[in-house]
Homo-oligomer: A and B are copies of this chain.
């Protein structure tokens, strides 16, 4: 990778927010990365510049036809002051998978990885160090061409912005309440559900709002065709421990292939815990509960890492999982993954990348 990334310096540094006020995605650092695409020039002019507003024509295609993809990953600071990324190569690959599905020109993966590293290195003082905190990294691509015809745009911007984020759990891990959605649909095979494009998230908001009105934290999506099979939860993948075995829905073209999902599967295999990817009907999960075989349910995603599920509602039935307590396996996975991310535990599967 010999691509030179230009640096435009700023003297106007922001004051860093207190750890208590962090939350998620509210504060942004002093710099951002920007690279432009034009049909005749390809991706060009990679730059790190002061964090600043975008100036875009109102006809920019992203506002109208939604060509937009993104990624999310985190940088952590270890006790020794090292800066670690968690499996960033997977995010970069998935970014290109998303680009390809959305007819956006793919990026040079080495350039993207190098851009993440240089930007995080420059902004490493922004990485909070308290338990559960991290520096969230948001790479994204948007269509910027000013044109109202429906076709792939001829101009794009790829950017990376950084946000120091607080612990997902205030205090400690706590079980969530999940509503099994049987009216709204998130995605369908042949559609775009397996990639991180903006429209998938917009399409999920209504169901999420209605679930919240009924007192639930998140929605569990079912398949679009039969409304029988489990896909994913809100913005996480989902796992069930049934008797001694862990199962998770098989990637089928409408489920996002989460990197935490993949990490959970690999860790379980490494530990010798049986784990299978398969088509899972919600009925089978409720049946397992009634037979006393449903031991744990948990979500896996970048934001929460592992999110234990304490309650599931499907149609008129509510079930309480594991007495609404965090299961042992959920806790073990949460601790193992966060310990690896923070360099507190041996990186047995070679996942972290030091900057």
Interface residues of chain A, those whose CB is within 8 Å of chain B, are: 23-26, 28, 32, 51, 53-60, 62-68, 70, 101-103, 136, 138, 140, 142, 146-152, 159, 161, 163, 183-192, 197-206, 208-209, 224-225, 227, 234-235
Cross-chain contact A59 with B25 (CB below 8 angstroms): yes
Cross-chain contact A53 with B63 (CB below 8 angstroms): no
Within the complex, which residue of B63, B138, B191 is in contact with A185, where a contact is CB–CB below 8 Å?
Answer: B191
Residues of chain B contacted by A138 (CB below 8 angstroms):
59, 64, 148
A82, chain B: closest CB distance, angstroms? 25
Residues of chain B contacted by A63 (CB below 8 angstroms):
62, 68, 70, 140, 142, 198
A-B contact pairs, 6 of them (CB 8 A): A24-B148, A51-B58, A66-B202, A185-B189, A186-B191, A199-B203
Closest to A253 in B: B185
> For the complex, what is the distance from the CA of A25 to the CA of B60, rounded to whole Å?
11
A252, chain B: closest CB distance, angstroms? 13
Residues of chain B contacted by A23 (CB below 8 angstroms):
149
> For the complex, what is the distance from the CA of A70 to the CA of B23, rounded to whole Å?
32
Given contacts A53-B55, A63-B68, A191-B224, 17 further A-B contacts (CB under 8 A): A24-B149, A25-B147, A55-B55, A59-B161, A62-B63, A64-B140, A65-B205, A66-B201, A150-B235, A184-B191, A185-B191, A197-B203, A198-B198, A198-B199, A198-B202, A199-B203, A225-B225
> For the complex, what is the distance from the CA of A170 to the CA of B203, rounded to whole Å?
37
Known: A68-B66, A188-B188. A202 touches B208 (CB 8 A): no
Known: A64-B68, A201-B65, A224-B190. A206 touches B101 (CB 8 A): yes
Residues of chain B contacted by A152 (CB below 8 angstroms):
205, 209
Cross-chain contact A102 with B58 (CB below 8 angstroms): no
Cross-chain contact B209 with A66 (CB below 8 angstroms): no
> For the complex, what is the distance from the CA of A67 to the CA of B209, rounded to whole Å?
14
Closest to A25 in B: B148
Residues of chain B contacted by A103 (CB below 8 angstroms):
205-206, 209
Known: A64-B201, A185-B188, A190-B184. A136 touches B150 (CB 8 A): no
> For the complex, what is the distance from the CA of A170 to the CA of B185, rounded to whole Å?
41
Known: A64-B140, A224-B188. A58 touches B205 (CB 8 A): no
Cross-chain contact A191 with B188 (CB below 8 angstroms): yes
> For the complex, what is the distance from the CA of A26 to the CA of B146, rounded to whole Å?
7
> For the complex, what is the distance from the CA of A188 to the CA of B28, rounded to whole Å?
37
A320, chain B: closest CB distance, angstroms? 26
A59, chain B: closest CB distance, angstroms? 6
Within the complex, which residue of B25, B147, B159, B202 is in contact with A199, where a contact is CB–CB below 8 Å?
Answer: B202
> For the complex, what is the distance from the CA of A60 to the CA of B142, rounded to whole Å?
12
Within the complex, which residue of B148, B192, B204, B225 is in contact with A224, where a contact is CB–CB below 8 Å?
Answer: B225
Residues of chain B contacted by A51 (CB below 8 angstroms):
58
Sorted nearest first, the 6 A-B pairs with minimum C-beta distance are: A199-B199, A25-B148, A66-B198, A185-B190, A66-B202, A65-B201
> For the complex, what is the distance from the CA of A3 to the CA of B232, rounded to whole Å?
45
A154, chain B: closest CB distance, angstroms? 12
Known: A199-B198, A202-B67. A25 touches B224 (CB 8 A): no
Residues of chain B contacted by A234 (CB below 8 angstroms):
150
> For the complex, what is the distance from the CA of A58 to the CA of B54, rounded to whole Å?
6
Cross-chain contact A205 with B67 (CB below 8 angstroms): yes
A283, chain B: closest CB distance, angstroms? 19
